[in-house]
Structure 1
Amino acid sequence: MKKVTCTAPVNIAVVKYWGKRNEDLILPINSSLSVTLHQDQLKTTTSIAASRDFTEDRIWLNGKEDDINHPRLQSCLREIRRLARKRRSSGSEDVSGILNYKVHICSINNFPTAAGLASSAAGYACLVYSLAKLYGVEGELSEIARQGSGSACRSMYGGFVQWLMGEREDGKDSLAQQVEAETHWPELRILILVASAEKKHVGSTAGMQTSVETSPLLKLRAESVVPGRMAEMIESIKKKDFESFGQLTMKDSNQFHATCLDTFPPIFYLNQVSQRIISLVHRYNAHYGQTKVAYSFDAGPNAVIFTLEPTVNEFVEVVKRSFPPASNGDPFIKGLPVSPAPLSQELTSAIEGDACPGGVRYVIVTQPGPGPVQSQDPSLDLIGADGLPKPST
């Protein structure tokens, strides 16, 4: 039995991808740009084993066996195996034995799945990277990851990543590219305010399809807004200009959700807690007369807050005051350490509003991080010597 274990990160788009021009190849109607989050806080772990004793390909997700015949999953599996055969025929490393074996795949997330936290991006990036390591496939993998989940191509790189929409009908130029490494902006911090860990009511795939069919705003956004916004966003990242970065991020998030409302029937990913967080961010920034924090919401109610390291402690106190934590014994702050910070009377007055106890379940504090990595620690393997998931997974 040959076995590999890899981890891959979540990414959060600051210029959003919403809508495909080709459903089968997952080609987007506009380019997008994201920040890769650090795997110390959020990651998918995937183990893949190949053995002559396996009678069929199988997959387990978060402890439960899932359908291995999902078309997108099969597309990734088929493409990696095709490249491995091509590599073998060219005289590269011989993997002819395991190419004829079936595989067992076991994957877990250390964060809520299907709740708008880019679980499919991390999941498919990890699947493709792990398969590539298993079969000895090298080179450009983001095109394959894209065929599993569009945003997964961005999780193939660390730091700040753009996904070029491309122009070719075969999708060969619709790839991810790193704009800057994770070390480029060391002061940047990301806070994830988990308002709900429930599975979202309208999945991204179905939501996008309806938006493409019914939203005039989506077409306008893709053609007239995003190209200029991509250029501005890249410039703000390269210059580490948080004022510009933060405003662009919030405007793009707002416009994305406006296209969801412009869809017919409308799609509501934000809830009342999401709206309260948006209001809180604007009141906080208004108090300081500058953009110190910025929100972004993907297809779900959970807020992703971008800020700089010196602001973290104070803003976490602001969140605690506005959304008093439920006293259920679970830690409210997870991830990077946060210290208590006093709030001035002026700031307290500026953010004052009706408190919403328990509205934010917990906060994950993280920073930009690297792309997928192969684990060298056998204790992290999810698959046991019998080829099945270990009991703890």
Structure 2
Amino acid sequence: MPEDSGKEFTMVTCSAPVNIAVIKYCEYRMFLKTTTTVACSRSFQEDRIWLNGKEEDITQPRLQSCLREIRCLARKRRSDGEADVDTAGLSHKVHICSVNNFPTAAGLASSAAGYACLVYTLSRVMGVEGELSVVSRQGSGSACRSMYGGFVQWIMGQQGDGKDSLSQQVEPETHWPELRVLVLVVSAERKPVGSTSGMQTSVETSILLKHRADSVVPARMKEMIEAVHKRDFTAFAELTMKDSNQFHATCLDTYPPIFYLNDVSRRVINLVHRYNRHYRETKVAYTFDAGPNAVIYTLQQNVEEFVQVVKHFFPPETNGGQFLKGLPVAPTTLSEELKQAIGMEPMVKGICYIISTKAGPGPRVVEDPSEHLLGSDGLPKESA
């Protein structure tokens, strides 16, 4: 909620969801999120930003691009005579504080959620309205998909550089309430190869990537959208896994090759296929973005058993922290038949923890002023 004191100090806090590609690039919003507070004041000497408690370089080109675009849109609205534009705020500096409730730069689309939240919050502070997904892409290409909730597709633009591409919601977060997500955090460490630089190398060197973009993804997008509309889990799951496999095949086809998956990631893939084979149906699906962490899709009725399967084959450390986070999952007992059918040796320390979640909404303003990450002095609160 904006706080205002004679137009000298304005503060807004918003949250935006993580997006994970099922067809890369058709997205699914989750209740993993970034929260961002933006304060604007005549007393600030310079623009500043803090991420997860640490001050970062505000002069990063992608950050500057987002700030510049939002300020340009606000000035345009003012020149067009829009009455609700904070004209004083356009000449003021901003302080930005952002936190994630999930690992940052570990292959879970943290930059997408971060830039979507940043752009959305800046737009609320400066009175900018309209299509913001194009602006969010100035920070992270996939950020445009975090501008909506539920299921979202990324629509290619007409310009060759893709700068005019934008996102479009396929279905809202309420469309498929039975669909659940389990994020198996294999590593919270920063990935060695960033998504942007990795994709640039793939574009330059991978023949498979061109074939994928021209011939595979368009058809799969149509199939995935139909599966989502119909809530067809089997089609949804199999398309998701096949597309994840091909994405990482493209990473291997890159020169030099990019290795986002590790031994634990491959064991998770094996586990999912053995679990499905035991039941002779596709009950669980995996996908991996640019990192080793697995995102598991399943239906509500399978969540308890599959969480127990993960705990059995990737037992948590007895002296570790909380292994299951997010939405509650009741414990259950696995049958000996299922354990034998999967037939894998348990791997201690393979999975750091599980995040239980589901489809979430798009960006929104946090109405409770106590949730602001910045204090009345414009600096991060200690708890942020």
Q: TM-score range by the shorter chain?
A: over 0.9
Does structure 2 conserve the Cα–Cα contact (< 8 Å) formed by 1:7 and 1:372?
yes
Matched residue SS, 1:47 = strand
* 1:5 paired residue among 13, 16, 30: 13
Distance 2:85 2:149 in 1: 30
The amino acid that maps onto 2:251 is C
* 2:36 paired residue among 46, 56, 74: 46
In the alignment, what sits opposite 1:269?
260
**Deviation digits for residues 304-355 of structure 1, max 9, x if unmatched?**
0000000000001111111011112411111111112222222111112111
Distance 2:382 2:356 in 1: 30
Does structure 2 conserve the Cα–Cα contact (< 8 Å) formed by 1:246 and 1:291?
yes
Which residues in structure 2 correspond to 1:207-222 (within 5 Å)?
A: 207-222=198-213
* 1:82 paired residue among 72, 87, 92: 72
In the alignment, what sits opposite 2:114?
123
* 1:101 paired residue among 92, 104, 110: 92
Q: Which runs of 5+ in 1 are unaligned?
A: 17-31
The amino acid that maps onto 1:85 is R
Matched residue count: 375
Distance 2:367 2:307 in 1: 35
Distance 1:333 1:163 in 2: 32
Distance 1:247 1:94 in 2: 48
* 2:23 paired residue among 15, 27, 37: 15
In the alignment, what sits opposite 1:33?
26
**What is the Cα deviation at residue 102 of structure 1?**
0.6
In the alignment, what sits opposite 1:69?
59
Fraction of identical pairs, as percent: 69
Distance 2:85 2:119 in 1: 19
**Deviation digits for residues 68-125 of structure 1, max 9, x if unmatched?**
1111111111111111111111121141111010111111111110001110011000
Distance 1:66 1:173 in 2: 28
Distance 1:338 1:57 in 2: 43
**What is the Cα deviation at residue 173 of structure 1?**
4.2
Distance 1:35 1:323 in 2: 26
Which residues in structure 2 correspond to 1:251-330 (within 5 Å)?
A: 251-330=242-321
Distance 2:161 2:250 in 1: 27
Distance 2:162 2:272 in 1: 39
**Deviation digits for residues 38-82 of structure 1, max 9, x if unmatched?**
2xxx21111111111111111111111111111111111111111
Cα separation, partners in 2 of 1:178 and 1:94, compared to 1, 3 Å: closer
**Deviation digits for residues 338-393 of structure 1, max 9, x if unmatched?**
11222222211111211101100110000001001101111111111111111222
Does structure 2 conserve the Cα–Cα contact (< 8 Å) formed by 1:164 and 1:173?
no
Matched residue SS, 1:56 = coil
Q: Which runs of 5+ in 2 are unaligned?
A: 1-8
In the alignment, what sits opposite 2:3?
none
Matched residue SS, 1:10 = strand
The amino acid that maps onto 2:196 is T
In the alignment, what sits opposite 2:46?
56
Distance 2:68 2:299 in 1: 42
Does structure 2 conserve the Cα–Cα contact (< 8 Å) formed by 1:335 and 1:366?
yes
Matched residue SS, 1:147 = coil
**Deviation digits for residues 214-270 of structure 1, max 9, x if unmatched?**
110011100010010000000000000000000000000000000000111111000
Does structure 2 conserve the Cα–Cα contact (< 8 Å) formed by 1:9 and 1:371?
yes
In the alignment, what sits opposite 1:163?
154
Which residues in structure 2 correspond to 1:149-228 (within 5 Å)?
A: 149-169=140-160, 171=162, 173-228=164-219
**Deviation digits for residues 118-155 of structure 1, max 9, x if unmatched?**
10011000000000000111110000111110111000
In the alignment, what sits opposite 1:26?
none
* 2:129 paired residue among 132, 135, 138: 138
Distance 2:163 2:288 in 1: 29
* TM-score, length of structure 1 as denominator length: 0.94
In the alignment, what sits opposite 2:6?
none
Does structure 1 conserve the Cα–Cα contact (< 8 Å) formed by 2:149 and 2:361?
yes
Does structure 1 conserve the Cα–Cα contact (< 8 Å) formed by 2:137 and 2:163?
no
* TM-score, length of structure 2 as denominator length: 0.96
Distance 2:199 2:41 in 1: 39
Does structure 1 conserve the Cα–Cα contact (< 8 Å) formed by 2:85 and 2:126?
no
Distance 2:378 2:353 in 1: 36
Matched residue SS, 1:148 = coil
Matched residue SS, 1:46 = strand
Matched residue SS, 1:183 = coil
